[in-house]
């Protein structure tokens, strides 16, 4: 991976939603580049466009205008199937509400993306066991989400997000549903994954703790980039 | 993806709904299987009763006999034809047919005389077993005749009574002969009951002065009937003669059997439509309450086909459970119904479209008894699940994950 080539690139991107008879401008022409290994937080007040930007980068939504590229591929030109494969292979997701599958164990949730990719079971097992140990869940592999705390569930979600070796992990308000101590632990974990293993993170957040730890802070206001600060 | 594992666990998330759905499928399978077996039994009995008494699976006549029956229209080499049919793996017998009058005391009635080879006829047809009063024909008693039930009643005769047979012989003379009633048949069929007079072939030939040939060759119903193939084989063995299958000889019965089969198919359709509605409703509920999860799966890169496969796997499990449950429930009933049957004695002896109803109605069980309803269930479930499965497969992940 060329460290000077952006993993994520948004060029003059707009996103307009239609709500009834009203057009809602969620993004109004933002331009942004994310380099490999960055630990970036998108911050801003509610309605500023953080989640919309994350959804566009995550190939979950399409821009109204402008270009969104992931590893140089223009997402606007890809079919739904290609976007689906791209999400599976190159993007990791950590959601605010954890979004684990309730009928699967921690281990099974963590391995699901690799299972969808068709990775052979032995390799899956080795990788997932290593990751669960790394996120501090060794011994809890067989527990279902309802048997885990919020912090533990989010750790499973992080393990799931990085299991398949994505180009970037997108985390939408990852600390919003956990207490302060758990939030600190989760941030420490993600920071460690970023520093030691080079995982690229892009957060959307309005949590000051996340903002404080981010190496780059991009502030969105009314769908525009108000500031972009590297630390 | 762990499709089957996920599907299996998913169906037990809402036990009550799964049990209701599986229960409905089970009831439908049990009902359609039992109904199918009983109707098959009814049709088999109907066909057997219609064919085995006197019809056979097919008959051979001299050209033109069927259109205009005549004592002179004979198959000249009937014995040779019977031998050829035997050689071709079939069993057949020749009969002599003629019309006339029969009288006893002051009573008389029209009669259909049937001259038979006693031994050979019994190997092909079961009419000889239908004697309820007296005895069947005996070659050693050429003057003895057996009468149809209603004819005996009309003439007011019983075994041992004397009759006068009257007709026109082939030489143009008046044929008349004294005969003795040897036996009276149970109800066999409309024509035989009303006018049937059975006598030995030798007695028939003497009565009608007919030395050679026979009017009718009857081919026995085999266990497995492939009518077109059988017709072709008989035609090959009987060149120049008219071959008619039972379906052409008894079109009303054939139509009735076809109608009953159509009715069965319609009943299956109705039951399965009801089941389809239950399944559609259950699967729609199952999809809508997990809409967020499908959104997650889609966000993680699970493709529409995999989502479709997951929902179909859930339905497949439910059908398989229902199949197992239905087998457990219906097998003892099928064993009972095929061994002991249903008592239909209140209808026994009643004739309809020339066939007499049997006293017991048995279920007929074969591989298709189970595979038919099972295949129908798979098809119905596949059709019913398509809409909710497709809905889940094309769901927009962002929209779906907004659901609480």
- Give pLDDT, residue B164: 96
- Give pLDDT, residue A141: 94
Q: How far apart (Å, rounded) are the C-alpha atoms in residues A10 and A224?
A: 12
Reported as a pLDDT band with limits 50, 70 and 90, residue B402 is confident
The answer to whether the Cβ–Cβ distance between A88 and B2 falls below 8 Å is no
The answer to whether the Cβ–Cβ distance between B300 and A88 falls below 8 Å is yes
In this predicted structure, which of A31-35, A117-121, B53-57, B285-289 has the lowest mean pLDDT? B285-289
pLDDT, greater one: B163 or B189: B163
The answer to whether the Cβ–Cβ distance between A84 and B303 falls below 8 Å is yes
Of the candidates B217, B203, B197, the one whose C-alpha atom is nearest the C-alpha of residue B112 is B197
Cα B75 versus chain centre, distance: 31
pLDDT digit string, tens, across residues B78-123: 999 999 999 988 999 999 999 999 999 889 999 999 999 999 999 9
The answer to whether the Cβ–Cβ distance between B299 and A58 falls below 8 Å is yes
The answer to whether the Cβ–Cβ distance between A87 and B303 falls below 8 Å is no
Reported as a pLDDT band with limits 50, 70 and 90, residue A180 is confident
Answer whether residue B52 shows pLDDT above 60.
yes
Query: And the tokens for B210?
Result: 């007919």
- Give pLDDT, residue B273: 85
The answer to whether the Cβ–Cβ distance between A101 and B297 falls below 8 Å is yes
- Give pLDDT, residue B9: 93
- Residue B129: CB atoms within 10 Å: 12
Reported as a pLDDT band with limits 50, 70 and 90, residue B347 is low
Answer whether residue A35 shows pLDDT above 80.
yes
- Give pLDDT, residue B266: 86
Answer whether residue A46 shows pLDDT above 60.
yes
Q: Are strands B131-134 and B144-147 parallel, antiparallel or unpaired?
A: unpaired
Reported as a pLDDT band with limits 50, 70 and 90, residue B1 is low
Answer whether residue A194 shows pLDDT above 60.
yes
H runs (alpha helix) in B128-250: 149-155, 190-195, 201-208, 227-237, 246-249
Q: What mean pLDDT is predicted for residues B179-201?
A: 93
Which positions in chain A touch B302 (Cβ < 8 Å)? 84, 88, 116
Which phi and psi angles does B91 have, rounded to 5°?
Answer: -120, 130
Which positions in chain A touch B2 (Cβ < 8 Å)? 104, 108, 112, 115
The answer to whether the Cβ–Cβ distance between A101 and B296 falls below 8 Å is yes
- Give pLDDT, residue B252: 85
Percent of chain A with pLDDT over 70: 100
In this predicted structure, which of A81-95, B72-86, B130-144, B376-390 has the lowest mean pLDDT? B376-390
Q: How far is A231 from chain B (nearest CA, A)?
A: 31
Nearest by CB to B9, which of A58, A88, A103? Answer: A103
- Give pLDDT, residue A198: 85
Q: Which residue out of B6, B7, B301 would a mutagenesis test of the A interface target, given it has the greatest number of A Cβ atoms within 10 Å? A: B301
Q: Three-state SS across A111-167? A: HHHHHHHCCCHHHHHHHHHHHHHHCCCCCCCCCCHHHCCHHHHHHHHHHHHHHCCCC
How many cross-chain Cβ pairs, A to B, lie less than 8 Å apart?
Answer: 59
- Give pLDDT, residue A142: 95
Answer whether residue A114 shows pLDDT above 60.
yes
Q: How far apart (Å, rounded) are the C-alpha atoms in residues B28 and B32?
A: 6
Tokens 């059997």, located at residue: B257
- Give pLDDT, residue A199: 87
Which domains does chain A possess? Answer: 8-230 (3.40.50.300)
Q: How far is B321 from chain A (nearest CA, A)?
A: 20
Q: How far is CA B180 from CA B91, B162, B187, in A?
A: 31, 5, 20
The H or E element spanning position A89 is: helix A80-90
Query: And the tokens for B394?
Result: 């094309």
Q: What mean pLDDT is predicted for residues A157-183?
A: 88
Of the candidates B179, B157, B183, the one whose C-alpha atom is nearest the C-alpha of residue B166 is B179
Q: What mean pLDDT is predicted for residues A194-210?
A: 89
Q: What mean pLDDT is predicted for residues B58-81?
A: 93
Reported as a pLDDT band with limits 50, 70 and 90, residue A76 is very high
Answer whether residue B351 shows pLDDT above 70.
no
Q: How far apart (Å, rounded) are the C-alpha atoms in residues B281 and B292?
A: 19
Tokens 């600060």, located at residue: A229
Cα angle for residues B355, B356, B358 (degrees, 5° grid)? 125
Q: What mean pLDDT is predicted for residues B352-358?
A: 57
Burial B68-94 (b: 16+ CB within 10 A, else e): eeebebbbeebbebbebbeeeebbbbb
Q: How far is A230 from chain B (nearest CA, A)?
A: 30
The answer to whether the Cβ–Cβ distance between B296 and A81 falls below 8 Å is no
Q: How far apart (Å, rounded) are the C-alpha atoms in residues B96 and B13?
A: 74
The answer to whether the Cβ–Cβ distance between A88 and B299 falls below 8 Å is no
Q: CB of A64 within 8 A of CB of A14? A: yes
Answer whether residue B404 shows pLDDT above 70.
no
pLDDT digit string, tens, across residues B300-323: 999 899 999 999 999 999 999 999
Q: Are strands A201-205 and A168-172 parallel, antiparallel or unpaired?
A: parallel
Interface of A with B in 132-171 (CB under 8 A): 160
- Give pLDDT, residue B349: 57
Nearest chain B residue (CA) to A86: B301
Q: How far apart (Å, rounded) are the C-alpha atoms in residues B107 and B103?
A: 6
Q: What mean pLDDT is predicted for residues A102-131?
A: 94
Which positions in chain A touch B399 (Cβ < 8 Å)? none
- Give pLDDT, residue B348: 58
Name beta bridge partners: B120. Answer: none
pLDDT, greater one: A110 or B287: A110
Which phi and psi angles does A151 have, rounded to 5°?
Answer: -65, -45
- Give pLDDT, residue B356: 58
Average pLDDT score over chain A: 92
Q: Which residue out of B286, B299, B302, B309 would a mutagenesis test of the A interface target, given it has the greatest number of A Cβ atoms within 10 Å? A: B299
- Give pLDDT, residue A97: 86
Which positions in chain A touch B303 (Cβ < 8 Å)? 81, 84-85
Reported as a pLDDT band with limits 50, 70 and 90, residue B256 is confident
Which positions in chain B touch A103 (Cβ < 8 Å)? 6, 9-10, 13
Query: And the tokens for B35?
Result: 């109904």
- Give pLDDT, residue A175: 86
Distance linking the first and last C-alpha atoms of chain B: 25
């Amino acid at each position: 991976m060329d460290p000077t080539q952006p993993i994520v690139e948004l060029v003059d991107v707009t996103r307009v939603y239609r709500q009834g008879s009203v057009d809602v401008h969620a993004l109004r022409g933002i331009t942004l580049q994310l380099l490999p290994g960055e630990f970036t937080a998108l911050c801003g007040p509610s309605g500023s466009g953080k989640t919309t930007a994350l959804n566009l980068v995550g190939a979950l939504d399409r821009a109204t205008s402008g270009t969104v590229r992931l590893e140089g591929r223009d997402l606007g030109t890809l079919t739904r199937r290609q976007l689906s494969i791209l999400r599976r292979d190159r993007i990791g997701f950590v959601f605010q509400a954890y979004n684990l599958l309730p009928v699967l164990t921690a281990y099974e949730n963590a391995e699901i993306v690799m299972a969808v990719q068709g990775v052979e079971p032995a390799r899956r097992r080795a990788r997932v066991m290593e990751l669960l140990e790394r996120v501090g869940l060794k011994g809890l592999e067989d527990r279902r989400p309802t048997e885990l705390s919020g912090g533990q569930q989010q750790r499973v979600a992080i393990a799931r997000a990085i299991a398949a070796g994505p180009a970037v992990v997108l985390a939408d308000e990852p600390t919003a549903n956990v207490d302060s101590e758990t939030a600190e632990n989760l941030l420490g974990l993600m920071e460690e994954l970023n520093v030691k293993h080079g995982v690229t993170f892009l957060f959307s957040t309005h949590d000051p703790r996340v903002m404080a730890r981010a190496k780059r802070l991009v502030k969105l206001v009314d769908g525009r980039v108000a500031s972009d600060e590297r630390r | 993806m762990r499709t089957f594992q996920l599907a299996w666990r998913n169906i037990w998330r809402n036990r009550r709904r799964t049990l209701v759905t599986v229960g409905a499928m089970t009831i439908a399978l049990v009902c359609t299987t039992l109904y199918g077996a009983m109707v098959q039994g009814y049709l088999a009995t109907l066909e057997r009763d219609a064919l085995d008494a006197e019809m056979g699976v097919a008959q051979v006549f001299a050209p033109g006999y069927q259109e205009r029956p005549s004592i002179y229209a004979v198959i000249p080499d009937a014995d040779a034809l019977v031998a050829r049919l035997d050689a071709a793996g079939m069993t057949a017998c020749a009969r002599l047919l003629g019309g006339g009058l029969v009288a006893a005391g002051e009573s008389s009635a029209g009669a259909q005389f049937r001259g038979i080879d006693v031994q050979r006829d019994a190997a092909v047809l079961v009419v000889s077993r239908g004697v309820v009063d007296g005895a069947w024909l005996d070659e050693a008693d050429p003057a003895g005749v057996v009468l149809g039930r209603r004819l005996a009643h009309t003439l007011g005769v019983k075994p041992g009574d004397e009759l006068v047979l009257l007709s026109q012989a082939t030489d143009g003379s008046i044929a008349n002969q004294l005969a003795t009633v040897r036996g009276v048949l149970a109800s066999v069929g409309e024509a035989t009951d009303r006018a049937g007079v059975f006598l030995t072939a030798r007695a028939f030939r003497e009565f009608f002065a007919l030395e050679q040939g026979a009017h009718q060759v009857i081919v026995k119903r085999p266990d497995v009937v492939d009518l077109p193939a059988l017709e072709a084989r008989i035609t090959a063995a009987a060149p120049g003669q008219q071959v008619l299958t039972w379906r052409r000889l008894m079109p009303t019965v054939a139509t009735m059997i076809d109608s009953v089969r159509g009715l069965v198919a319609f009943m299956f359709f109705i039951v399965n439509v009801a089941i389809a509605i239950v399944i559609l409703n259950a699967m729609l509920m199952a999809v809508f309450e997990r809409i967020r999860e499908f959104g997650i799966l889609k966000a993680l890169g699970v493709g529409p086909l995999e989502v479709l496969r997951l929902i179909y796997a859930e339905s497949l499990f439910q059908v398989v459970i229902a199949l197992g449950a239905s087998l457990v429930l219906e097998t003892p009933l099928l064993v009972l119904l095929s061994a002991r049957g249903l008592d239909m004695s209140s209808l026994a002896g009643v004739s309809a479209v020339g066939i007499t109803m049997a006293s017991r109605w048995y279920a007929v069980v074969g591989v298709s008894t189970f595979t038919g309803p099972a295949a129908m269930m798979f098809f119905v479930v596949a059709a019913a699940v398509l809409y909710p499965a497709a809905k889940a497969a094309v769901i927009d992940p962002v929209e779906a994950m907004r659901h609480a």
